[in-house]
Each structure stands twice: as structure tokens, then as C-alpha cells.
């Protein structure tokens, strides 16, 4: 393993894991997938590993009816809010599909998450399936009066949603709450502002009902490997995720994203590019191969990775993951475990300590609960002032 720059490590959690048969493993806790206790244990383990943040997957897709796969999920933003006061260091990033959501409600939910987590909130912007696909039409039909639209149209609207959410986050200045008992004033109304936005598909005039949060502007995550989303990612994201089938493709995508960020007039250090990697871990390589074979047997078909994947014992996985960062130029990785409970345990107990011992994990403070760190702090990003305060 080369001794080069440290990188950010994040983990995406979805169902029981990326492998369709993951829920059938003895240690998967399949009965607990819809319980608070299951997710608290899992995310606390990710936190102990020193991950910068955890992504909680979500979508507006209804159950697809495919037998043998996990069909149920919890709301990611609600789950993140539950985890906020029960964790101390790890960032909490729910995936938020915005195609059929009200920007006001999105803003309020993420601001609330930032408050209850003491500044560790982010959100990954997503859209629904496009028109002309069975999935897109079915998803739109779940919402009264809505029709499916193209991917480009949805991402154009998503850009407006991000703008409105950002304005609503700023709508309360930091000192808007005065708590002046002598004058019976809870807030200073001159420090609360309307968003005043008019776009192609909606307009918003009022202010948020939730005061400005610890980060001011929680972290925004956008995929950079979706062509229609790239301009939004380059212009507004703090973290951009990419995926690819091989190292050459990943290197090209990282370079494409960095070029788009520069073309948008932003400084390179203001944006962090993270590469998706599916992982299946074990104590050694033969054990990892046996785990995959067991999963494939349970599923009745071989697993097909969505992109780059590492199936290995912890020592070789550490080498492979560090090499991916070095070869592609990414700022870090988002690991997607194939079998979450077992993989997260091995990440915490073996893989992360190996990476940390070699100086490869981005610096993180002690695990002590009295050592606060916002997600912006973790990425070295300053807390922005409210646009309305600076304009006054």
C-alpha cells in the first residue's frame, strides 16, 4: 500500500446490503430491518470505523415484486433524524428524491436533522425514474396530479429545489432568536426573510419555520455520473459521487467532474469527489470467496456488480481501496457493502484500522461524545454566512 494522501471514507446503507440474498444470512438481522435498534447498531459501528459520513438510501419506487429481495424500507430522512442524537461524529446523509417533494418540506426536514445531530447533516439530491419507463410512470402515479417527465426536466427542477432549499436555510439569520423577556420578543422579525423565488415549475415566497441550523448550509451531495445532473453537481454540490465499471472509466469520470467544477468557476478544494465501490469483506481472500459463493447459492444466481467492486480479505481490500484512490484521483470512497451487518463489522474491526495505521483515512477527532465536529468541519469547509445577513 503506497504511503500517499489520506482520503475520506463513507458508507452507503441500503436494505440488508447490495447482494439480493444478504437478508438471508444468519447474521443479517432480517427481522430487525425496520427497527430503530438495528440501524443504531449499524451506524454506530460505521461511526467507530471513522467514516466521514453514512448515506441512507431511499427512493419513491414502490415494491417491485421481485421474489427473494428486500421490499421494505424506512424513510431515510426520518431515520437520519432518529440517529442524530444517538451518534456523535459520523455525518448523516439521507437520499432525498425531490421530483415530487415540496422544497419547503425538504428544507425543514434537513434543517431539523442538522439541529438534532449538532451539525452533521447532509442530503443527497435524487430524482424519480424518467417518463417513458414503466418505473417512471408508476412512480408519478403515486402522487396526485403528477406525471412523469424526462430525466433532464427533473434535474432542471432539482436545481431549482436546491436553490430554494438553500435560500430557506438562510431565511433565518443566526441571531434571529433574541429571547428578550423584558420586551416579550422571541424573535427579531427583521432577521427573518422570504425566499422570494420564481422558477419554471414552482415559486416560493415565505421563510422557513425552522431557525438556521448549526452548519448554516448542510452538505449537498449530488451524483456526477448522471449526465443530466452534472451541471447541478458542479455548480452546487459539496460532495460529488461517481461510479464506473473499471479504473479507466472511474479516472475519466473523476477528471470530467473536476473539469465541470472548474468550468462552473468554483475552487477545486470546495468540492470533494468520491468514488463508489461495492465491497464484500472477510478475514482473508478465501473466506471472502466463500461468502460470495454462499450468497450466490442463496440467490440462485451469480451476483452482478453495479460498478467497481472489491471482494477480499481485509488486508487485500485495504490495498485495493487505497490503490483505487491513488489511481483515479478521487478524494475518497463510498463503500456499498454487499452484506451489511458482516461487512460493517469487518470494516470497523479490521479494514479501517489497517487504513488508519497507514495514514490513509482522513483525520478525525476522538470518538468521545464531547468532541463535536460538523460535517462541514470534516471536509474543511467554512460555515457560510446567511446571504440575507451579508446583504443587510
* Greatest extent of the chain over all pairs of C-alpha atoms, in Å: 72
- Identify whether 186 is part of a domain: no
Task: Dump the DSSP string for 51-78.
Answer: -SEEEE---SPPP---TTS------HHH
Residue 11's H or E segment, with its range, is: strand 8-13
What is the torsional sign of CA 295, 297, 298, 304? positive
pLDDT of residue 370: 54
Torsion of CA 180, 184, 190, 196, to 10 degrees: 120
- Identify whether 148 is part of a domain: no
pLDDT of residue 367: 46
- Identify whether 71 is part of a domain: yes
Instruction: Give me the tens of pLDDT residue by residue for the chain, a chain 392 residues long.
Output: 445 789 999 999 999 999 999 999 999 999 999 999 999 999 999 999 999 999 999 998 888 878 888 988 999 999 999 999 999 999 999 999 999 989 999 999 999 999 999 999 999 999 988 887 778 878 888 887 788 889 999 999 999 999 999 999 999 999 999 998 999 999 999 999 999 999 999 999 999 999 999 999 999 999 999 999 999 999 999 999 999 999 999 999 999 999 999 999 999 999 999 999 999 999 999 999 999 999 999 999 999 999 999 999 999 999 999 999 999 999 999 999 999 999 999 999 999 999 999 999 987 654 445 566 899 999 999 999 999 997 66
pLDDT of residue 352: 97
- Identify whether 79 is part of a domain: yes
CATH of the domain at 59: 3.20.20.30
27-31 contacts: CB < 8 A, separation 24 or more? 27/341, 27/342, 28/339, 28/340, 28/341, 28/342, 29/341
- Identify whether 171 is part of a domain: no
Residue 241: give the domain boundaries: 13-129+208-391
How far apart, in whole angstroms, are the C-alpha atoms of residue 297 and residue 130? 34
- Identify whether 136 is part of a domain: no
Structural domain count, the chain? 1
- Identify whether 200 is part of a domain: no
pLDDT of residue 14: 96
127-132 contacts: CB < 8 A, separation 24 or more? 127/97, 127/98, 127/99, 127/151, 127/154, 127/155, 127/157, 127/158, 127/229, 128/59, 128/60, 128/61, 128/97, 128/99, 128/100, 128/154, 129/61, 130/154
- Identify whether 198 is part of a domain: no
Amino acid at each position: 500500500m503506497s504511503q500517499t494522501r489520506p482520503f475520506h471514507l463513507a458508507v452507503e446503507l441500503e436494505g440488508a446490503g447490495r447482494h439480493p440474498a444478504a437478508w438471508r444470512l444468519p447474521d443479517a438481522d432480517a427481522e430487525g430491518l425496520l427497527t430503530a435498534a438495528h440501524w443504531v447498531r449499524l451506524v454506530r459501528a460505521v461511526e467507530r470505523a471513522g467514516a466521514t459520513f453514512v448515506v441512507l438510501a431511499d427512493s419513491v419506487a414502490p415494491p417491485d415484486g421481485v421474489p427473494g429481495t428486500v421490499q421494505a424500507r424506512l424513510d431515510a430522512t426520518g431515520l437520519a433524524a432518529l440517529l442524530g442524537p444517538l451518534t456523535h461524529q459520523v455525518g448523516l446523509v439521507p437520499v432525498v428524491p425531490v421530483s415530487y417533494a415540496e422544497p419547503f418540506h425538504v428544507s425543514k426536514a434537513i434543517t431539523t436533522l442538522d439541529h438534532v445531530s449538532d451539525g452533521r447533516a447532509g442530503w443527497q439530491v435524487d430524482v424519480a425514474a424518467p417518463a417513458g419507463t414503466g418505473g417512471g410512470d408508476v412512480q408519478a402515479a403515486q402522487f396526485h396530479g403528477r406525471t412523469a417527465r424526462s430525466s433532464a426536466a427533473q434535474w432542471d427542477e432539482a436545481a431549482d429545489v436546491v436553490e430554494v432549499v438553500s435560500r430557506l436555510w438562510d431565511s433565518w439569520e443566526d441571531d434571529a432568536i433574541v429571547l428578550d423577556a423584558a420586551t416579550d420578543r422571541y424573535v427579531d422579525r427583521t432577521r427573518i426573510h422570504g425566499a422570494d423565488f420564481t422558477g419554471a415549475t414552482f415559486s416560493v415566497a415565505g421563510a422557513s419555520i425552522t431557525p438556521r441550523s448549526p452548519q448554516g448550509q448542510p452538505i449537498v451531495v449530488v451524483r456526477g455520473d448522471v449526465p443530466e445532473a452534472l451541471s447541478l453537481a458542479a455548480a452546487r454540490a459539496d460532495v460529488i459521487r461517481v461510479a464506473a465499471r473499471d479504473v479507466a472509466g472511474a479516472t475519466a469520470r473523476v477528471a470530467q467532474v473536476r473539469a465541470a467544477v472548474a468550468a462552473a468557476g468554483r475552487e477545486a478544494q470546495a468540492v470533494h469527489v468520491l468514488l463508489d465501490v461495492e465491497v464484500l469483506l472477510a478475514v482473508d481472500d478465501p473466506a471472502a470467496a466463500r461468502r460470495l459463493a454462499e450468497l450466490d447459492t442463496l440467490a440462485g444466481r451469480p451476483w452482478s456488480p453495479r460498478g467497481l467492486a472489491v471482494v477480499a480479505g481485509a488486508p487485500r481490500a485495504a490495498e485495493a481501496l487505497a490503490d483505487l484512490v491513488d489511481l483515479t484521483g478521487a478524494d475518497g470512497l463510498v463503500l456499498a457493502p454487499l452484506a451489511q451487518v458482516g461487512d460493517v463489522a469487518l470494516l470497523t474491526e479490521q479494514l479501517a484500522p489497517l487504513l488508519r495505521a497507514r495514514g490513509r483515512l482522513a483525520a478525525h477527532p476522538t470518538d468521545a461524545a464531547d468532541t463535536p465536529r460538523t460535517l462541514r468541519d470534516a471536509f474543511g469547509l467554512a460555515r457560510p454566512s446567511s446571504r440575507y445577513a451579508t446583504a443587510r
